[in-house]
Every structure is written in structure tokens, then in C-alpha cells.
Amino acid sequence: MNAKKKQIIDAAHRLFIEKGFALTSIQDILDEAGIAKGTFYNYFASKNECLMAILEFVKEEGDQKRKELAHGKLKDNEKVLVAQIAIRMNINRKHSIMAVFESVSVSDDTDLKTLLKNQHIEELKWLSTRITEVFRFENRRYSLDHAVMLLGMVHHLMHVWKLGTSKEIASEEVIQFALNRLKPIIEEQMQSKEVFFQNDWLPMSIDPSVTDSTEMKKKVLVKLERLDKKVGKMERIDQKKSDYIKFLQDELQAEWPRTFLLESVLMSLSHVFEQSDYEHEVNQLSKMVWQLMEQIEA
């Protein structure tokens, strides 16, 4: 991410936590960041857009950490699932996201509300997929039910814990407890065959306009080509960046793309673009490739 843009985001983030979103003005952000009004508008059209960038930045950090936790591990590893759920909670705590969320609730901005809704839907999609993998289900008929119940138990357990004590409890401990309670529920539901939420209850696709893997692959390859051209125009050309992009282009066009290699190179690509102007673009591209791999394996 561009250093100046990160400076603005960090300043706004501090103010949204301290004062709340509604009570923070753009002038407050300018003063906190030590920048001119024109500099702010070079990156953001409004205060709301700045807040959306904060929420997306934090989510992307969690997504990347989850991929790193899963790399090289079996998909049915329960401890990895617990750690992946916990990393989102821990990152949200580190960035005081709950305080930011509370200030967003007073906003009437449609784009902000849509962003929060879509992030929640993506979280449910991810968790329903991971539960299916961990418990080796043949299909996802019950997976949305399980994801909703697990998140509900975890969040309410944490909430009631805080009502009774100021002592911290490890996220992993709460998640493991809730997961253990979910297991007999899963067994009973498999026997009764009762379903509350059909698996298509929510619009679960990251890019709803693209559900065909061939079309998705075309989109990804176009984005990779554009990124490669941008890298070629950089003052200091980093051969690693070009090599990773070229590998992804070649591998995605193979008859049978090797997902384990794609996973590894995607993480390497994200790392070499950290703190750069193209960090967000690379993270979005990475998300598309992960979605494409899911479609190919489905």
C-alpha cells in the first residue's frame, strides 16, 4: 500500500476508535495525519470511503494469515480450523474493529452497509467450506447451518464471558469448546436430515457476476497481464515479482493446474508486494485465484 495512503488510513483508524466514526471529521483526519485536504482527496472521495479501506485492509490481513496457516497442512486438520477462526478474532481485536463497527451502525451509507454485509457473507461461506473439509462431508447440504451455529456459539460465549470478568480468555479455547459442542449436533442432524438454511440461501460468490471457471480464468489472466505490465514500468524492476506472475500465468493455463504450487506462489506474491502501491490489487487478484481453484476442485 502507498505510504501516504497508509498514513491517512492509520490516522483515521485511531480517530474512529477514540472519537467514533460519526464524531470524526475530515479535518480531524487531516490534522492527525499532518496532511493537506488535497492529499486526502487524492486517495479517498469521502470519510466513508476511508473507513471502507480500513475494513478491507484488516480483512485482507486476516485472509492472508489464514492461507499461511493452511499451507502444507491437511484440509481435515481440526487444529488448523480453530487457529484460522481465531486469527480473524485476534486481528479484529488488535485493530479494535468492534469499536469501529459500533460507530458504523449510526451511518446511513449504503456502500458501507453493503461492505459489512458482504464481508459477513464471505465469512460464512469460508467457514461452511472449511467445516465440510474438516468433517469430510460428501456435500455441503448442512454446512451453512453448521457455520451459523458455530459462529453464533463462539460470539455469544465471548460476550457472556466479558459480562462476568475482565480476565482475557484465549480465542482458541472458546472456539474449541464451541466446536466440541457442535460435533454431536452435526451427528444428530446427519441422522434427522433436517436443514434450516439451504446451501444457496445466501449469495455466496465473491464475484457474483462470474460463476463459470472458464470466465473466471480469463478475468484472472487479464489482471495478471496488467499487473505484469505495471511491474515492467517500475523504476526498480524486481525479477521475483515478474517470475511469480509468469508462473501463475503458465500454471493457470495448464490442463491440470497444481493447486499446491499455486497456493505457495500466491503467498510469495503477496509478500513481495507488501507495503507497495499494488498491495491491494494483488490481494484482490489472490482472492480471485483462490475462488477459481475452488471452482476447479468442485
Give pLDDT tens digits for 166-181: 999 999 999 999 999 9
Place of cell 494483488: 282
Count of residues for the chain? 298
Q: Taking the model in full, what pTM does it have?
A: 0.71
The architecture (CATH level 2) of 1-44 comes to: Orthogonal Bundle (1.10)
What is the Cα–Cα distance from 39 to 43, expressed in whole angstroms?
7
Cα–Cα dist 129/131, whole Å:
6
Per-residue pLDDT, averaged over 113-119, amounts to 83
Q: Around Cβ 133, how many Cβ atoms within 10 Å?
A: 16
Indicate whether 296 pLDDT > 70: no
Rounded CA gap, 210 and 215, in Å?
Answer: 7
pLDDT of residue 106: 54
More confident residue, 65 or 205: 65
3-state secondary structure of 297: helix
**Residues 284/13/268/77 CA torsion (nearest 10 deg):** -90
DSSP H stretches of helix in 23-166: 26-33, 37-43, 47-70, 78-94, 97-104, 110-134, 143-164
Grid coordinates belonging to 123:
465469512
Residues 6 or more apart whose Cβ sits within 8 Å of residue 294: 129
Q: Distance between alpha carbon 264 and the CA centroid of its chain, in Å?
A: 18
Confidence of residue 163 (pLDDT cuts 50, 70, 90): very high
CA–CA separation, 21 and 13 (whole Å): 9
Mean pLDDT of the chain: 85
